[in-house]
Amino acid sequence: MSTPNRTVDVVVVGGGPAGATAAHELALAGRDVVLLDRAGRIKPCGGAVPPQLLIDFKVPESLLVNQVDTARIISPTGALVDIPVGDGFVGMVDREHFDEWLRVRAANAGATRVVGAYESMERDQNGVITVHYRRGGGRTARIEQVRTRMVVGADGALSKVARQELPAEAAKARYVFAYHEVIESPQIEDEAFGAARCDVYYEGGLSPDFYAWVFPHGDTTSVGTGSANKGFGLRGAVRDLRARTGMDRVETIRQEGAPIPLKPLPRWDNGKDVVLAGDAAGVVAPSSGEGIFYAMTGGREAARAVDLALATGDARELRKARRRFLGSHGSVFWMLGMMQRFWYSSDNRRERFVAICRDRDVQELTFEGYMRKELVKARPMAHAKIFWKNIGHLTGMART
């Protein structure tokens, strides 16, 4: 699609959950939008999503390849706590199909899909942007152009748009490096594997500052780990976990890794015509590494901000994407960040963290919060109890 004479309203760079959602919402708002995505790689991802995602973004349950009803957390000494999900579930999506479904939905709503790799952008004297991209995505592919008034940068954790348009902010990004192996699901259910159970390992040997996981997706299972410590051997940790759980005897389908951003960037817009969304904006929940729901929420906020900026001609609208997002989720991110820094820092603390999770109130509020994406207001005493329990541990007063 070389369109030297046509100027579209928005080019969305990146067709993951953030970009596909932004393009869908902009198309629904009647905007002329191009969704530019470099195809060809399935996003490495555990694929766990909360039920609220299906509700908020009208995603059909048929896209879930599994529904998990229990989360098992495992301490460094092997103590287990099974946390039932109650009347909800943790959904599992396969990103190959999930992301494509989102992109097709955006196209059906009117977005123009272009397969290509974003390279750069420049502006003419009227402020119209020319986006340069490699058609088809290959490194040597022909460069083509599209003219646009605004750009949404949703091109993932190592966003080129962010590095070019908000270089000072992008330089501040910090990451957890995550690696997983997609394996054939074990046929036998035992202590080490449950087809409807997520296993989360808190153990320094498997991750010195994050956690390792086993997420069942029906026919396949994701076994992975993450760490911000570049020297830590992620592959070795997954090899150990598979050997220990007998999952070294099943076939490996894919081995892949990618960075997960740790902290929302201090700014998401360039003050004129570009706004970031999803991993490009640094938006993944600390402690859990949950990013899909937040990427879609960020994509929606970016779309709303761009639509308003175009309608009013006031670029200050772009700043509201970050403000609105953090207004809804900032306090949860702050709390999860504090918990990650404290609880994931030594095996002694991990052991105590798993012990705290035996508390029924902790379990219920954790899952309510995960599933509905809002703090549960109905049970102030339970909140107070957990708050003081956390504070007790954070300050070293409690020893449970």
Closer to ligand FAD by Cβ: residue 29 or 154? 154
* Binding-residue pattern over the window 138 to 157 for ligand FAD, x denoting contact by CB under 6 A: ----------------xxx-
Exposure of 365 in the CB half-sphere (CA atoms within 13 A) = 21
Closer to ligand FAD by Cβ: residue 47 or 51? 47
Closest residue by Cα to residue 18 from 222, 275, 244:
275
Of 84-103, binders to ligand FAD (CB under 6 A) are none
Residue 295 interacts with ligand FAD (CB under 6 A): yes or no:
yes
Closest residue by Cα to residue 16 from 133, 91, 137, 101:
101
Binding-site member from 25, 273, 290, 317 for ligand FAD (CB under 6 A): 290
- Shortest CB 186 distance to ligand FAD, Å: 19
Name the residue whose CB lies closest to ligand FAD. Answer: 291
Of 47-76, binders to ligand FAD (CB under 6 A) are 47-49
**Amino acid found at 371:** M
Element of type H or E holding 342: helix 319-343
Closer to ligand FAD by Cβ: residue 20 or 386? 20
How many angstroms separate the CA atoms of 129 and 145, rounded?
Answer: 10
Number of H helices, E strands in the chain: 11, 16
Q: Are strands 175-184 and 220-227 parallel, antiparallel or unpaired?
A: antiparallel
Residue 350 interacts with ligand FAD (CB under 6 A): yes or no:
no
Binding-site member from 12, 23, 33, 178 for ligand FAD (CB under 6 A): 178
Binding-site member from 44, 51, 76, 153 for ligand FAD (CB under 6 A): 44
Decide: helix, strand or coil at residue 230.
coil
- Shortest CB 295 distance to ligand FAD, Å: 3
Applying CB under 6 A, which part among 36-44, 60-68, 330-338, 375-383 lies near ligand FAD?
A: 36-44
The secondary structure of 270-281, three-state, reads CCCCEEECHHHH
Give Cα separations from 357 to 45, 165, 264, 373 (angstroms). Answer: 25, 43, 27, 19
Residues that bind ligand FAD in the complex, under the rule CB under 6 A: 13-19, 36-38, 43-49, 117-118, 154-156, 160, 178, 180, 224, 258, 260, 278-280, 284, 289-293, 295
